Each structure stands twice: as structure tokens, then as C-alpha cells.
């Protein structure tokens, strides 16, 4: 694989400007703070190929559905994260020549993303047509400390001349989504005003009527001294700017500090949104760039304290895991209950929507182990708030009596995807949402949550499954017909083992919660439900290959030509770019873990031998053309101690974006699968298994690694682990003693033990 950027343990570095890589770099160097985010577009004008992207979490537009052949039940809209105000813009003109790296000669170029500090820096020297040369340095961040603030320091040094330079810092809402179905403009102007050294634009979205107010304020320095400037105020539709021309002296450094506040009526009253934005930006400017940056860095430090993974002896792996952790926390911090984790985060538009089952299946376990429990709880509450909509959604598909089907893709709880084989049939997602509740409770023992929120969701989901099964006279079993399992390379199949298994599990767990865990509270079950569900639990069909321990992916799977993926010609890969859909569907090739996803979720239901047999049966047919595939495989290979395959799978997931495996990073990063990378280390290599009051470790050490270390939040305490050749060192940073099972042997780790104990 091509390494696009330099290897460095904390940084992503680019040393040359290559316009053909610019869109990919814009994704890789994206920054964000959980509330808003920004692709690494240039501040100054850039006329080359670029995907401009500025996104504000939770602000979406219901784009009119585009579909060739309408099917009953399709939603009319597809909710899309909106491309929002360009807040980074600073146009520069030297001698009436626009600074534009697509046109100027670039003499040197350096771009760096410092993941430890959360800062994007760019330095370059370029020459204009008339020979004038300038050096530019820009530094920017989206404040992790105050998630309504972004700041830019933009410096220019004239290298070989003194003369007039024009600066135009601006805010511009004239942006469209590249993925708009009908190329519509989604924004309408509400307020705009240019002041001295300041400006504000407030715009609202059509239909959804969200309001976003963005204000800017700036100061200007020569070397380190404040310079007063007098700027023209320019107002256009959805746009404000200040424009000033200033005489620069050769060799001196001039810096424009641009402070920006980004507010929306998700959190603030729309009545005073514009005023609040101005207030906020005034404050930011008063603090100044340094102080803001310092606060920002401290916030990142705190995140890293919990979430960092240190790998010794494998720089590629080290950089990759940090990149993944960094991007996850840029995307979601758990502060706002209306937000979730979109598959591309704030790094691109593709896929629209914000919430897929990725959140529950992959991201939640990451936050459960790296962040305070309220973060994971927030993710669960998000779904609780959307329960009514999930019930409505199920009603549209013919279900009744409080059965809930959560959408495949959503923003506000309504389904917004429209492929029947996915929207209507990939119903296992419902199971992942129930499983996330189970997983959260397993980690936290948060029974009040279960009582107040979790149970309702679990029962509504169980009701769905109880209606979705049907009795097969032929099989003398309950069956589930017409589904798409996690392997989207089969559609509309019958008795997908994973789906049937999770359906059964959902019914069991809902019953367990209602009738055992919450036995002291009034049951929410209706008459007859318990009996009906028990009957299904006892009689659901779970296909298996006769004479083996191998669970059958679906009915008819064995009718396929069972030729391993290894024999596929290189030139036909990835299949989804080379084969027609029907050929993919009738082939044996698996896009992502399907039976294995079930073994991962329900590991404790199966013996190691069974897991091993299934992994070794299905993996050879798997083409891993979903970013969510290799991580589950890596974890299972670790579990069955196949270190070589576990490491191979880890590499596939860890550097997916950095090395642009699928040649698509220009569209944005695979945010949700990044959590899987972290899980590959912690649940995979380290074999961490958590139950409330119980933490187990069963580690392996990849061959070429000297060691790896990480923290786990366990019972609200931080525990540190370092796996190395001599064993495992453990440090307990909490106030309580901890019992840890290491390779099944119980160990006591005393409280407040910062010192590592070698076990």
C-alpha cells in the first residue's frame, strides 16, 4: 500500500503540495470538535479540485428522495448533514494577483496535523507571476474546550519585496452539498452584518428551519505587535467580509488572527442567536489565540490520557491507532444528546444521515471503555428519544402494537434510506440497538437507566421480532424470511443465522430485564407476550451445517459455489467495482462478518472450538469490502490465538484511510470503523472482556511489537495496561482496589497504584 503521508507517532505530515492528492489530504487533515468540523480546505482561494466541507453537527436538510422505481414504504426524504458556512476563508491579493496554490508556483509546502494538540498547521512559500514571493503560515483548530469556537492564525511574510497586500477575511453561506439530489440551495439568509473588524451571518435551512449563526472577529499583528487596520465592510447575499490593504515590509511577518463562533438553535435560542454569536466571538478575541489554543490543547490532553494506545516497535500501527482515536473524538464527544456519529463524521458528505447501526455495534464499546459512562449513555438516550419514530416506522411496514423498527439511516428518528433490500430488510440493526443497551449495562450496571429508558426500547424491539417471525409448517419452527444480514452481499435471504440469533436473544433479554432484573418494578409486558415470546425463543430456526459446529449463514448458502476468495483474480477486486450486483449476490463472497458478527457479540454462548471452526470456515470466503469487516475478524482471530491472521486483519482496518486502501478517502474518512480498530487492539490483542465488577484480559502480542499499552475506564476508574514480552503491567489509578482476571488467573491491583505492577 502506498503511504500517502509521513510516518510519525503523533503527527500526519505532508511535505509537498500535490494537487492530485488535495482532496484526499482535505479528508485526512480534517479537524473538528464534536460540534462542528472542517475539511482541510485552504483559507485562501483555491481553484483546484477540492471538496469544500464545513459541517455543523445535527444541522440537516431533508433532501428529496431520488429513486428510479418507487416502492411502497419508501421515505420521501433523505436527511443530509449540510455543508455549512465557510468560516475559514481569508482571501489574499498581492499586487492584484490572487493567492491561489492552483495558479501560483509553490516553492515549498508543509502540512501537519498534530493529533496530540489537535492543530492543523500549513506552511508554504510561493511565487506570483510577477516574481513576488511570500511565505505563509496558517494554524487552526476547532476548540475542544469551547465547541462553539474556531480560530485561525494566518501569517504572511513577504520574502523578496515590500508592498501592498490585500486581506479579505470572510464568512460565506453560499455553499451547496455536492451530494444534493436536485442541486438545490439549502440555505436562506436571515441576518448579515459587516462591522469594523467583525461580521456575522445567520442563515436558516429550508424546510427544517434550523438556524446557524456564524460570527468572525479579527486582529492583526506585525511581527508581535498589534496593528490597527481600517477595513471596508462588504455584504452580499449570505456573505460578509472585511477587506483591507496594507503595506507589508519585506522580511516582516504579518499575522491575521481570525476568531469565529458557530452557534445554532440546537443549543441556543434562535431569537438571540446572532447576538449570542457576536458576544461569543468578542469573548474569544478577548481571550486571544494563545489562551484559546492552550485551553484547547488541555482538553485534548485529557482525552488522550484515557484514550491513547501506545504501540512500541511499529510506527505505522502507532500512527494509525492514534489517527483513528483522534478522528473519533473529533466526531463525537457525548456532550449533545441530539448528536450521533455519522459514518463520515465531519469529513465528507457521503451517506448523509448521522446514525447507522455502526454507532451501537462499533462505536459504543469504544466510548464505554475510553470515556466517562455518560458518553455511552448519551448515545443510548439518543435512540430512546427516537423510540416513537421507530414505532411509527414499524407501523408503516405493517407492524403494530408498539413494535419498533429503528431506521437503517437516520437523523431525526425517521428512516431516510431507500433501497428496499436495506431499508426494509436489513432489520438486524434493531438487534444491535438492544445489544448496545445490554453492553452498556454489562459495563456499568446502570439499573436506573434500564428501568427508565432501556426497558422500553428493549420491549418495543422484542415486539417487532415477535411479529416479524412466522411459523413454518415445513420446518416446524419459527423462521424469519426476507432479510439482509450484516453481509450486504446477500439480499432478501431467509433465515439469516445472525438475524435469527439476535432476534431470539432480543426476546430473551427483554424478558430477562422485565421479569428478572427489574423484578421489583411493575412489568411493562402485555398479557400473553411472555408466553408468546418464550415459544418463539424455544422454537426459532437456527440453521447449521449438518455434522459440524458451523452455523449456516442463510438457507441455501450451501447451494453456492464454495470457492475461497483467495482464488479471485486480483483484477476483479474489489468485487463491488467489477461485478454486477446479481453476480455478487449469488456468489459465496462475504462483504463483512455475518455469522462471525454473532459470535463476536455472543462469544460467551459458544465454546472456543465452535468459534474457531466458524471463523476458519467463513473467513476464506470474506472479501472485507466493508470497512467494518476486518476489525471483527481481528478480534476473533485474537480470541482463537491465530496471531498472524489477527495482525493481518488489524493492518487492514488500522490504516484504511491513511493508506487509502479503497481509493476513496477523498470523499471523507471511515469514522465509525475507526472504533473497530481500537477494539482490535483492546478486545482483540489484549482480549479485554468487561462485566461490571469483572475485568478479564487474555493478551497476545503481535510478533513485531515490543509492547502496547492502553487505559480502560472500568467502574469509573482508569486502569492502565501494558502488554509486553515479559507479561502485562497494570496500574490502577482509581480509589478502589480492582480484581482483574489475567489469562483466567485472578489478580488484585491495589487502589491508587500509579506504579505498574508486572503480572
Residues that bind a copy of itself (CB under 8 A): 65-69, 71-73, 396-398, 418-421, 424-425, 470-475, 479, 481-482, 491-492, 494-495, 555-556, 558-562, 576-586
Among 112, 148, 488, 613, the active-site one is 488
Q: What is the CA radius of gyration of the chain?
A: 27
Q: Are strands 90-94 and 31-32 parallel, antiparallel or unpaired?
A: unpaired
Please count the residues of the chain: 759
From the number of C-beta atoms within 10 Å of its C-beta (0-12, 13-18, 19+), residue 663 rates as exposed
Beta-carbon contacts of 462 under 8 Å, excluding residues fewer than 6 positions away, are: 434, 506, 507, 510, 511, 533
State how far the Cα of 638 lies from the Cα of 705, in Å rounded to an integer.
15
Q: How far is the CB of 493 from a copy of itself (least distance, A)?
A: 8
Residue 549, helix vs strand vs coil: coil
In contact, 545 and 601? CB cutoff 8 Å:
no
Q: Which is nearer to a copy of itself, 288 or 482 (CB)?
A: 482
Nearer to a copy of itself, 329 or 420 (CB): 420
Q: How far is the CB of 594 from a copy of itself (least distance, A)?
A: 16
Min dist. Cβ of residue 399 to a copy of itself (A): 9
Q: Judged by CB, which is closer to a copy of itself: 1, or 558?
A: 558
Q: What is the nearest approach in angstroms of a copy of itself to the Cβ of residue 341?
A: 22
Q: Which three cell numbers stand for residue 109?
A: 509546502
Query: How far apart are CB 391 and a copy of itself at their closest, in Å?
Result: 15
For 274, the 3-state DSSP assignment is: helix
Least distance from C-beta 345 to a copy of itself, angstroms?
A: 22
72 vs 520, beta carbon nearer a copy of itself: 72
Q: CB of 488: closest distance to a copy of itself in angstroms?
A: 11
298 contacts: CB under 8 Å, gap ≥ 6: 145
Return contacts of 417-420, CB within 8 angstroms, 24+ apart. 417/75, 417/78, 417/353, 418/65, 418/67, 418/71, 418/74, 418/75, 418/78, 420/71, 420/73, 420/74
Buried b (16+ CB within 10 A) or exposed e, 372-395: ebebbbbbbbbbbebbebbbebbe
What element of type H or E holds 366? helix 364-370
Distance CA 185, CA 205 (A): 9
Kindly tell me which of 588 and 631 has the beta carbon lying closer to a copy of itself: 588
Cβ distance to a copy of itself smaller for residue 181 or 267: 181
- 731: Cα within 13 Å, side-chain hemisphere: 12
Residue closer to a copy of itself by CB (options 143, 180) is: 180
Least separation in angstroms between CB 474 and a copy of itself: 4
CA separation for the pair 593, 572 (Å, rounded): 21
CB nearer to a copy of itself: give 578 or 703.
578
392 flagged as catalytic? no
- The rounded distance, in Å, linking the Cα atoms of 243 and 220 is 13
DSSP E strand boundaries for 686-759: 689-691, 694-697, 707-714, 717-724, 727-732, 738-742, 745-749, 753-758
CB 559, min distance to a copy of itself, A: 4
What CA–CA distance (Å, rounded) separates 122 from 413? 40
Which residues, listed in sequence order, are joined to residue 111 by a DSSP beta bridge?
14, 122
* Pick 250 or 578: Cβ nearer a copy of itself: 578
Residue 467: CB minimum distance to a copy of itself, A: 11
Task: Calculate helix-pair angle for 315-331, 643-654, nearest 10 degrees.
Answer: 50
CA–CA gap between residue 154 and residue 166 (Å, rounded): 13
**Closest CB 621 distance from a copy of itself, rounded Å:** 14
In the complex, the smallest distance separating the C-beta of residue 185 from a copy of itself, rounded to whole angstroms, is 18
Helix (H) or strand (E) holding 21: none
C-alpha cell at 361: 455495534
Choose between 65 and 385: whose C-beta lies nearer to a copy of itself. 65
Q: Which is nearer to a copy of itself, 181 or 616 (CB)?
A: 181
Q: In whole angstroms, how far apart are CA 599 and each of 153, 481, 506, 551, 564? A: 50, 21, 15, 10, 21
Euclidean distance between CA atoms 24 and 313, whole angstroms: 28
Q: Using alpha carbons only, give the angle 595, 575, 431 rounded to the nearest 5 degrees.
A: 30
User: Closest CB to a copy of itself among 491 and 553?
Assistant: 491
Q: How far apart are CA 396 and CA 709, in angstroms?
A: 49
Cβ atoms of 714 and 695 closer than 8 Å: yes
Residues classed as catalytic: 488
Amino acid at each position: 500500500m502506498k503511504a500517502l503521508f509521513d510516518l510519525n507517532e503523533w503527527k500526519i505530515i505532508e511535505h509537498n503540495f500535490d494537487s492530485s492528492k488535495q482532496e484526499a489530504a482535505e479528508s485526512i487533515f480534517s479537524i473538528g470538535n464534536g460540534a462542528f468540523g472542517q475539511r482541510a480546505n485552504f483559507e485562501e482561494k483555491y481553484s483546484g479540485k477540492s471538496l469544500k466541507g464545513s459541517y455543523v453537527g445535527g444541522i440537516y436538510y431533508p433532501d428529496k428522495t431520488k429513486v428510479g422505481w418507487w416502492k411502497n414504504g419508501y421515505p420521501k426524504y433523505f436527511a443530509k448533514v449540510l455543508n455549512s458556512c465557510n468560516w475559514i476563508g481569508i482571501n489574499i491579493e498581492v499586487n492584484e494577483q490572487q493567492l491561489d496554490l492552483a495558479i501560483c508556483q509553490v516553492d515549498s509546502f508543509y502540512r501537519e496535523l498534530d493529533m496530540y494538540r489537535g492543530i492543523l498547521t500549513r506552511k508554504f512559500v510561493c511565487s506570483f507571476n510577477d516574481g513576488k514571493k511570500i511565505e505563509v503560515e496558517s494554524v487552526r483548530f476547532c476548540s475542544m474546550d469551547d465547541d462553539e469556537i474556531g480560530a485561525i492564525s494566518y501569517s504572511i511574510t513577504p520574502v523578496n519585496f515590500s508592498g501592498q497586500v490585500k486581506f479579505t477575511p470572510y464568512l460565506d453561506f453560499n455553499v451547496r452539498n455536492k451530494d444534493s439530489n436536485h442541486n438545490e440551495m439549502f440555505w436562506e439568509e436571515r441576518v448579515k452584518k459587516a462591522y469594523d473588524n467583525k461580521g456575522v451571518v445567520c442563515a436558516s435551512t429550508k424546510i427544517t428551519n434550523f438556524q446557524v449563526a456564524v460570527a468572525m472577529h479579527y486582529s492583526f499583528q506585525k511581527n508581535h505587535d498589534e496593528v490597527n487596520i481600517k477595513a471596508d465592510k462588504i455584504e452580499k447575499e449570505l456573505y460578509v467580509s472585511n477587506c483591507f490593504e496594507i503595506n507589508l515590509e519585506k522580511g516582516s511577518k504579518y499575522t491575521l488572527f481570525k476568531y469565529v463562533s458557530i452557534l445554532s438553535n440546537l443549543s441556543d435560542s434562535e431569537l438571540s442567536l446572532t447576538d449570542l454569536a457576536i458576544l461569543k466571538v468578542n469573548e474569544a478575541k478577548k481571550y486571544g489565540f494563545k489562551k484559546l489554543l492552550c485551553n484547547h490543547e488541555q482538553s485534548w490532553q485529557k482525552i488522550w490520557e484515557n484514550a491513547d494506545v501506545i504501540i512500541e516497535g511499529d510506527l505505522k500501527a502507532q500512527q494509525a491507532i492514534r489517527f483513528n482515536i483522534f478522528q473519533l473524538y473529533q466526531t463525537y464527544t457525548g456532550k449533545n444528546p441530539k448528536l450521533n456519529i455519522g459514518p463520515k463524521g465531519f469529513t465528507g458528505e457521503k451517506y448523509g444521515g448521522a446514525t447507522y447501526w455502526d454507532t451501537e455495534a462499533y462505536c459504543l464499546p469504544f466510548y464505554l471503555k475510553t470515556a466517562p459512562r455518560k458518553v455511552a449513555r448519551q448515545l443510548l438516550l439518543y435512540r430512546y428519544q427516537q423510540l416513537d419514530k421507530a414505532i411509527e416506522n414499524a407501523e408503516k411496514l405493517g407492524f403494530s402494537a408498539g413494535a419498533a423498527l429503528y431506521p437503517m439511516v437516520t437523523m431525526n428518528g425517521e428512516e431516510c434510506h431507500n433501497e428496499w433490500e436495506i431499508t426494509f430488510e436489513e432489520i438486524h440493526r434493531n438487534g444491535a440497538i438492544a445489544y448496545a443497551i445490554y453492553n452498556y449495562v454489562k459495563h456499568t450496571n446502570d439499573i436506573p437507566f434500564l428501568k427508565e429508558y432501556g426497558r422500553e426500547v428493549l420491549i418495543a424491539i422484542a415486539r417487532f421480532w415477535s411479529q416479524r417471525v412466522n411459523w413454518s409448517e415445513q420446518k416446524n419452527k419459527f423462521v424469519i424470511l426476507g432479510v439482509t444480514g450484516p453481509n450486504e452481499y446477500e439480499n432478501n435471504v431467509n433465515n439469516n443465522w445472525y438475524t435469527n440469533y439476535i432476534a431470539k436473544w432480543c426476546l430473551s433479554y427483554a424478558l430477562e430485564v422485565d421479569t428478572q432484573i427489574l423484578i421489583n418494578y411493575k412489568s411493562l409486558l402485555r398479557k400473553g407476550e411472555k408466553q408468546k415470546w418464550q415459544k418463539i425463543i424455544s422454537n426459532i430456526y437456527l440453521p447449521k451445517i449438518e455434522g459440524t459446529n458451523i452455523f449456516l449463514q442463510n438457507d441455501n448458502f450451501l447451494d453456492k459455489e464454495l470457492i475461497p476468495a483467495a482464488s479471485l483474480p486480483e483484477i476483479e477486486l474489489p468485487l463491488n467495482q467489477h461485478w454486477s450486483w446479481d453476480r455478487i449476490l449469488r456468489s459465496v463472497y462475504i462483504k463483512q462478518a455475518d455469522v462471525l458478527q454473532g459470535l463476536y457479540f455472543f462469544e460467551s454462548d459458544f465454546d472456543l472450538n465452535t468459534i474457531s471452526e466458524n471463523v476458519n470456515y467463513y473467513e476464506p470466503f470474506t472479501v472485507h469490502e466493508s470497512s467494518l469487516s476486518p476489525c471483527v475478524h481481528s478480534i476473533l482471530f485474537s480470541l482463537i490465538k491465530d496471531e498472524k491472521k489477527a495482525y493481518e486483519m488489524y493492518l487492514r482496518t488500522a490504516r484504511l484511510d491513511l493508506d487509502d486502501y479503497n481509493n476513496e478517502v477523498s470523499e471523507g474518512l471511515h469514522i465509525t470503523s475507526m472504533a473497530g480498530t481500537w477494539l482490535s487492539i483492546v478486545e482483540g490483542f489484549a482480549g479485554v472482556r468487561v462485566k461490571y465488577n469483572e475485568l478479564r484480559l487474555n493478551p497476545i502480542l503481535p510478533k513485531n511489537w515490543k509492547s502496547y499499552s492502553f487505559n480502560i475506564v472500568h467502574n469509573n476508574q482508569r486502569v492502565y495496561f501494558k502488554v509486553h514480552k515479559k507479561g502485562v503491567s497494570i496500574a490502577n489509578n482509581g480509589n478502589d482496589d480492582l480484581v482483574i482476571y489475567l489469562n483466567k488467573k485472578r489478580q488484585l491491583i491495589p487502589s491508587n497504584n500509579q506504579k505498574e505492577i508486572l503480572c
